[in-house]
Structure 1
Amino acid sequence: MTDKNLLRAIPKVDEILKQREWRETVALYPQGIAKDALRLVLDELRSAIKKGVVHSIPSLASIIDATKTRINLSTAPGIKRVINGTGVIIHTNLGRSLLAQSAIEALHNAACHYTNLEYDLDKGERGDRYTHCTSILKRLTHAEGSLVVNNNAAAVYLVLNTLAEGKEVIISRGELIEIGGSFRIPDVMKKSGAILREVGTTNRTYREDYEKAIQDNTALLMKAHTSNYRIKGFFHEISADELIDLGKTYNKPIYFDTGSGLLIPLLEVSIHHEPSNIELIEKGIDIVSFSGDKLLGAPQAGIILGKAPYIEAMKKNPLARALRPDKFTLSALESTLLLYLDREQAIREIPTLRMILEDKNVLLKRARRIARKVSERLKRVTVSVIFTDAEVGGGTLPDVKIPSCGIALKPHTHSIESFEQKLRALPVPVIGRIEKDTLILDMRTIIAEDETPLIDGLETALKDDT
């Protein structure tokens, strides 16, 4: 049959709609979505015939099955569970930090029930949504006040707009950072209405550089932690202590954007240079801001700590309402913060901290167990246990490598690229990394609940010899 005859033989949409098989299918789906999916399937069939890929007309059952597949794809949620085998713990592309079980339960409670989000149960009147996190943040950090917004970019914007609109903010040229999504300190400062006054050089900034730039129009002395890169070698930066002393001398507030949100020292992985927000508040920094979903291991949020007058001024800024978090963020954040009352409990129950600090020997045992199961079930892949290095990720600790263990997979009947693509197409996608024509899956980021779907997924991906 010629291509023209094949094209004429494609059943018309109206004819298919009259078929009993189609009516049974439509009963399960919205009619408009089903029709649109059918048209797309027939359009793809026409295109395949014209390209010479298809040489016969599929049966009605095949067309309906293809339509059902198309419907399911178009109506399925876009955000889905994946297995993170990359070894990057706070993986921004994969949703950053996982939440502690208590935070998950708090989210469920807030989703299923009314809450006292803005209701004072003691007084029987309207309350403040920020109170729930403020009390625990004060206990943990001894800050006079706190404010939670929807992310740290919003926190930076709110601080600058509230305290420095129309005035100068002094910051080292070496700290004019950019993070993912082209978020740049100079651009945010410009939008906030503050005036950037950069001092020093890219690699060396001193106290006197700040001091020479201070004038009557100076509103803030700012420091931004370079959490996603390091400058080494011929390098000098102004310390927090020096900034505090300058602030006191010239009566100027100090703002430190620490970014990554470390609350407790994690010297076990040599994180000795990461600024601790608690220590900075204790030293006398006036305002500190950081992310909730990085080293803190909480949901996405921007947390601002500081002296009461500055926090109160930010709360009164009309922008604060536009940037405020919802009940889900506040519920999960409060539950996570409560875990920090006991350091050992925090490390045990907050997934981000647990992954960072988990003993390599524990990971080695898991890697061996999974490798053994894969070898027993799957004969078309070579699997081995390897030592590797994991990363914290999320724009934090760029020079820290965490010794880890994983499994290396080399398929016999697929190219490594095809194998990796098939793993990404699974109902529960598996995300790994390719090194030297081998797929690496790092155990540090594969949680216990992932092990069964991981092995099942590997088996599915290796079924077809393509």
Structure 2
Amino acid sequence: MSSLFRLLPSVDSVLSGLADKKCYSNYPRAFIRDLVNDFLELCRQEIKAGTISGDDELSPERFSSRLEAYLKVHTRPHFRRVINATGVVIHTNLGRSILNRQAAQAVWEACLHYSNLEFSLNTGKRGSRYSHVEELLCRITGAEAGLVVNNNASAVLIILDTLAKGREVVVSRGQLVEIGGSFRIPDVMAKSGAFLKEVGATNRTHLKDYESVINENTGALLKVHTSNYRIIGFHKEVTLKELVQLGDKHGLPVIEDMGSGNFFDFPGHGYHFMPEPTVQQVVKDGVSVVSFSGDKLLGGPQAGIIVGREKIISKIKKNPMNRAIRIDKMTLAALESTLRFYLDSQVAMREVPTLRMITMKQEELKKAAQKLMNRIRRSFGNELKCSIFPANSRVGGGSFPEQDLPTYLVGVKSDRMNCEQLKEKLLRTDPPLIGMIVHDLFCLDPRTLDVDEFGLVVEVLGQALEV
């Protein structure tokens, strides 16, 4: 064992050997030194455990190969790209909506150069960061004014804090939703300083339920769109129009939290989807203020978008909290670029990746699945058995719950490992490939795979099969 320890090189000699490798030149020397120390300690532990038992296992070639593999794993970013083959379009755990290339380029420009973030090119003086998107938001939605904060939970928080702090906000019991991470509407409301006033029953709420609790301490009426679940059967809820009329009667603002905001009229474009209101319709129905996410059905960056009546939006803009939850230049750049596509719904359907994936036809998906299967077969022959079968994708992100999106899956099976083992190995490839197990097969859904990624899918499958 002592002779094996003596074969281990010194830290300095290893660093000297790495000095000529350009791939490590951008890392601080101290960082690489720490990694080398960690690797040498790993080798010592393996010698003690008997995992390394022969001189040949510490030959310069073998040692260098293992060191390179170790450094490759430990120098790559922790936050990085993955390949989404799950068929879940707005996958919360995988970054939700992906951006159009033009939007990504806008972010790139915002990062690399100075910009007119809060500078008016018309006056040469300080400007407003909201001016870059407010006009677009009003033009698309028909609202009088708008602003953007960092996410929809923040949007709801600042609206309630501005309009109803210290007062009661009336909301139906059937709309007290919980979103991801166990965040609940009542919790957000409590943090805003407003007081929750529940009315109705879980499955049925009537207009008279709202009217019966309105008093001098009522600050607002709140409607929460249940975008992440459905109530079916014996149920009833008050329409937004009815709520607006009640609010106008008592001089109360009506707030709608849409959750996953939507600009695209799916039924109007021939898609037989479950009913999902558009922001345009909500504004048309007379809501005082409405908030929604930018990175769900809208297909843009993470943001909480607020639009509504100018008088109310103006108050929200002046709330000191706005400073704490405002969006940065990268979000603004991506959002403006994404919003421009919605000036023409046909362009949006073609250019916004989220919309394009949701609206893909089953025939198109079958062709894509066939193409992917053929590439896998050409590369691996009998080493991987492939098949295609019909299934369903999901929109995800708390949008269109229970809405089936017909698709075709490519099922992959290896004789060398079971599907769970293959799934585990694919989590460690570069980049990782995330799929799902169906019928004892590791499956890939082409809905969330770009055709340009098919070659990369084949490459990482090869990585997973390496001994």
TM-score, with normalisation over the residues of structure 1?
0.93
* Match 2:416 to one of 406, 409, 413: 413
Separation in structure 1 between the aligned mates of residue 2 and residue 244 of structure 2, nearest angstrom: 77
**Aligned-residue offset at 1:366:** 1.3
Aligned to 2:326: 324
**Aligned-residue offset at 1:9:** 4.1
Separation in structure 2 between the aligned mates of residue 136 and residue 18 of structure 1, nearest angstrom: 59
Indicate the larger mover: 36-45 or 102-111: 36-45
Aligned to 1:44: 42
Aligned to 2:189: 189
Aligned to 1:458: 461
Separation in structure 2 between the aligned mates of residue 7 and residue 455 of structure 1, nearest angstrom: 44
Q: What residue identity is the alignment partner of 1:325?
A: I
Separation in structure 2 between the aligned mates of residue 85 and residue 115 of structure 1, nearest angstrom: 37
Aligned to 2:217: 217
Separation in structure 2 between the aligned mates of residue 24 and residue 438 of structure 1, nearest angstrom: 44
Separation in structure 2 between the aligned mates of residue 453 and residue 42 of structure 1, nearest angstrom: 33
**Number of aligned residue pairs:** 457
Aligned to 1:313: 315
Aligned to 2:279: 277
**Aligned-residue offset at 1:32:** 2.2
**Aligned-residue offset at 1:333:** 0.6
**Aligned-residue offset at 1:11:** 4.2
What is the SS of the residue equivalent to 1:146?
A: strand
- Contact conserved, 1:221 with 1:243, CA < 8 A, in 2? yes
1:25 aligned onto 2:18 = yes
* Match 2:10 to one of 16, 22, 30: 16
What is the SS of the residue equivalent to 1:80?
A: coil
Q: What residue identity is the alignment partner of 1:453?
A: L
Change (3 A) 1:67 1:237: same
What is the SS of the residue equivalent to 2:203?
A: coil
**Aligned-residue offset at 1:457:** 1.8
Separation in structure 1 between the aligned mates of residue 299 and residue 357 of structure 2, nearest angstrom: 11
1:88 aligned onto 2:88 = yes
Separation in structure 2 between the aligned mates of residue 32 and residue 11 of structure 1, nearest angstrom: 24
Matches within 5 A, 1:216-365: 216-267=216-267, 268-365=270-367
Deviations 1:396-415 (A, max 9, x none): 11110111112111112111
Aligned to 1:119: 119
Separation in structure 2 between the aligned mates of residue 322 and residue 440 of structure 1, nearest angstrom: 43
Structure 1 residues without counterparts, runs of 5 or longer:
1-5
Indicate the larger mover: 74-83 or 278-287: 74-83
Separation in structure 1 between the aligned mates of residue 133 and residue 364 of structure 2, nearest angstrom: 35
Separation in structure 2 between the aligned mates of residue 458 and residue 17 of structure 1, nearest angstrom: 35
* Match 2:397 to one of 387, 394, 397: 394
Deviations 1:13-43 (A, max 9, x none): 8x61353x54222564533223322332233
Separation in structure 1 between the aligned mates of residue 188 and residue 35 of structure 2, nearest angstrom: 43
Percent identity of equivalent pairs:
42
Aligned to 1:3: none
**Aligned-residue offset at 1:384:** 1.0
What is the SS of the residue equivalent to 1:163?
A: helix
**Aligned-residue offset at 1:193:** 0.8
Separation in structure 2 between the aligned mates of residue 436 and residue 125 of structure 1, nearest angstrom: 63
Deviations 1:362-397 (A, max 9, x none): 111111112122122212111011111010001111
**Aligned-residue offset at 1:452:** 0.9
- Contact conserved, 2:274 with 2:400, CA < 8 A, in 1? no
Separation in structure 2 between the aligned mates of residue 131 and residue 318 of structure 1, nearest angstrom: 19
Separation in structure 1 between the aligned mates of residue 319 and residue 51 of structure 2, nearest angstrom: 62
What is the SS of the residue equivalent to 1:221?
A: strand
Q: What residue identity is the alignment partner of 2:196?
A: L
Change (3 A) 1:7 1:33: farther
Separation in structure 2 between the aligned mates of residue 420 and residue 405 of structure 1, nearest angstrom: 19
Q: What residue identity is the alignment partner of 2:351?
A: E
- Contact conserved, 1:87 with 1:443, CA < 8 A, in 2? yes
- Contact conserved, 1:387 with 1:406, CA < 8 A, in 2? yes
- Contact conserved, 2:11 with 2:36, CA < 8 A, in 1? no
- Contact conserved, 1:158 with 1:192, CA < 8 A, in 2? yes
Q: What residue identity is the alignment partner of 1:411?
A: S
Separation in structure 2 between the aligned mates of residue 319 and residue 392 of structure 1, nearest angstrom: 33
Separation in structure 2 between the aligned mates of residue 294 and residue 412 of structure 1, nearest angstrom: 39
**Aligned-residue offset at 1:70:** 3.3
**Aligned-residue offset at 1:101:** 2.5
Deviations 1:157-200 (A, max 9, x none): 11111111111111111111111112111111111111111111
**Aligned-residue offset at 1:135:** 0.5
Aligned to 2:446: 443
Indicate the larger mover: 57-66 or 152-161: 57-66
- Contact conserved, 1:170 with 1:222, CA < 8 A, in 2? yes
Deviations 1:266-286 (A, max 9, x none): 124433521211111011000
Deviations 1:415-464 (A, max 9, x none): 11111122221112111000121011111111122111012222332233
Aligned to 1:368: 370
**Aligned-residue offset at 1:51:** 4.3
- Contact conserved, 2:141 with 2:283, CA < 8 A, in 1? yes
Deviations 1:306-327 (A, max 9, x none): 1111111111111101111111
Separation in structure 1 between the aligned mates of residue 3 and residue 182 of structure 2, nearest angstrom: 51
Separation in structure 2 between the aligned mates of residue 455 and residue 304 of structure 1, nearest angstrom: 43
Structure 2 residues without counterparts, runs of 5 or longer:
none
Aligned to 2:432: 429
Separation in structure 2 between the aligned mates of residue 156 and residue 18 of structure 1, nearest angstrom: 56
Aligned to 2:72: 72
Separation in structure 1 between the aligned mates of residue 325 and residue 350 of structure 2, nearest angstrom: 32
**Aligned-residue offset at 1:50:** 4.7
- Contact conserved, 2:240 with 2:282, CA < 8 A, in 1? yes
Separation in structure 1 between the aligned mates of residue 402 and residue 125 of structure 2, nearest angstrom: 50
Separation in structure 1 between the aligned mates of residue 416 and residue 74 of structure 2, nearest angstrom: 31
Q: What residue identity is the alignment partner of 1:416?
A: C
TM-score, with normalisation over the residues of structure 2?
0.93
What is the SS of the residue equivalent to 1:38?
A: helix
**Aligned-residue offset at 1:254:** 0.3
